[in-house]
Amino acid sequence: MNPSSRSGSVLHCNRRPVLRLRRARRGGLILIVVLVMISLLSLLAASYAFMVQANMRGAMAIHHRFQAQMAAESGFQRAVAVLRESRNDAGIWYNNPQLFRAILVEGTEEEAEADTQQQIAKVSETGWYDTSAKPAWRFSLYARNSDDPVTVRYGVTDETSKIDLNRVTEAQLRRFLELTIPQDTANPVDINVLVDSLLDWREPGNQPRPNGAKDEYYQGLEPPYRSKNAPFSTIEELLLVRGFSAWVLFGEDYNRNGLLDPNEDDADASFPPDNGDGILYAGIAPYLTLWSRETNMSSDQRPRINLNMQDTQKLQELISEQFSAEIVNYVLSVRASGMAFNSVMNLLPAPPTPESEEAPPEDGLPPDLQPPPDDSTTTQPTTNPADGFDAGLQDGSTDLSQSESASEKSQTAKPPEFKDLTQEVPPGTYEDLPLILDRLTTDPVPLYVGRLNISTAAREALASIEQLTDAEIDAIVAARVDLSPEERRTPAWLVARGVLTEHKFRWILPRLALGSSVFQVECVGYADHVGVMDRMNVVFEMRGPIPQVLYKRRLNNLGTAYMPHGEEIRAAQQQAPVNR
């Protein structure tokens, strides 16, 4: 064999393993690349799937949040519907779980009962909601229960049950603050500073009271600002006033539910700060309002009959339909003599002044002998009720209505002496008093502003009526627990039940409201199948059948305030928090 051909075949044979090795290496590299690509694609697919799932859950969360908001709005609409029909029957809207607790927005309770019980059992056992269950959205209307602070009330709150921040006098404010703010803390609150600073803030002028503050004080703060020198626009505005800290305004009740939650009774263990004494200090905010308004209308939404109307023939026709002949004849006799009524209480015999109380000075006239308001030719207001009030706010005036002016005059340092208008003894009795208070007036103003509903006001708010002693306030709170709906319509039960003397009742009557045109609701929307909740606070005025929202705020940022499914869920969540 040719040596050259032999060497060529040897070289050819030597190349084959090299080529096979190169091909094997190339195939292994491709496999690695393919595996890496598959891994990357898998990661991308998983990431995309996770993103889609997250977006779906986010969209579902937004959907649930919106539905919770609509459920809360449904609670507000339920309150409006009830007030349209029964505004003057506090027995229906004040505390009524059947109308305002755990109300289904859609469907019937019978349809949802089985699923609801299953959901409660599941959450109690596992701490998880079954989001695949049949949707069941509900609402509840919560309110503070001033008669039983350890529980809540399911209903509507009338704003006349609170102290009007823009109308309260210095003496009323001082007594209220002294009763409400505890002084057993390490840093006691100076009531004098609070009273003077509040009055300085809402009144015009640049000269502060001895313990108050005007521009000179506020300009020295960081950041500086000016004294408003005008009525308050919100209750939270008090935080701008000297001395009014968040603790004074809201106390230990961080979530503002009126209940003593565990974190509000653990001293310094957790927020908010509290003294751990087992008693909730809720601040002064729950007892204050800017909208204490009452229309001068009877319980059937008709204008009250003005005893001083100039048309005595029309007056006779109106009162003859509802009152006895003796009362009608007495009214006409007084008017025929040229006199005018200055109180509907003139229809009842004047009570004697208690011997233990001093008579007023000779140069001071008691309320029943004050000059009457201007006569009116009609029993109906000639202007929109809100127009006069709003105009007063716009010009910065804090003057009260005619009725309030009489109220201020009646709050003298010494008890007044009441006298009958004529020698003839008035024929009215205290059995007639509920009808007299409801149907008649001597003041034709369209609105009463700043009065207090003694049937619904908290004890702290009742303290603003200076003539009431602490014992009388306690008696009022105790007696009204079992009031009937008819009794709640007027304050006549104070005398009928012997809570106050006839003299004391007549003395404080100009400060008392018979009803309210402005209401507040706290609506909570939630579901049985998901742990989403929406909490909304609304203040609104009922102008006839039309609600006008005056203040609206969502309170979700304050955290969970209620466990709407009841104590069973609350206890379960304390042991095993619900996962959401």
pLDDT tens, 5-35?
555 555 455 566 655 656 666 666 788 888 8
pLDDT, tens digit, for every residue of 317-327? 999 999 999 99
Which amino acid would we find at residue 387? D
Domain segments of the chain as ranges: 64-158+520-575, 161-289, 296-511
Whole-Å CA distances, 352 to 357, 359, 419, 465, 503: 11, 11, 9, 21, 7
Which stretch of 104-108, 268-272, 300-304 has the lowest confidence by average pLDDT?
Answer: 104-108
Residue 293 confidence (pLDDT) above 80 = yes
Helix (H) or strand (E) run with residue 157 in it: strand 157-158
Chain centre distance of CA 513: 17
pLDDT category of residue 390 using cuts at 50, 70 and 90: very low
Whole-Å CA distances, 455 to 87, 155, 380, 476, 481: 15, 15, 27, 8, 9
Residue 106 confidence (pLDDT) above 80 = no
Residue 580 confidence (pLDDT) above 90 = no
CATH number given to 161-289: 1.10.40
pLDDT, tens digit, for every residue of 41-90? 999 999 999 999 999 989 988 998 999 999 999 999 999 999 999 888 88
Average pLDDT value for residue range 285-297: 94
Which stretch of 236-240, 254-258, 374-378, 392-396 has the lowest confidence by average pLDDT?
Answer: 392-396
Residue 126 confidence (pLDDT) above 60 = yes
pTM score above 0.75: yes
- Strand partners of residue 534: 525
pLDDT category of residue 181 using cuts at 50, 70 and 90: very high
| More confident of the two residues 545 and 110 | 545
pLDDT category of residue 551 using cuts at 50, 70 and 90: very high
Residue 547 confidence (pLDDT) above 70 = yes
What number of CA atoms fall less than 13 Å from residue 213's CA on the CB side? 20
% of residues, the chain, pLDDT over 90: 56
* pLDDT on residue 30: 82
- Alpha helix (H) residue ranges in 338-430: 385-394, 402-410
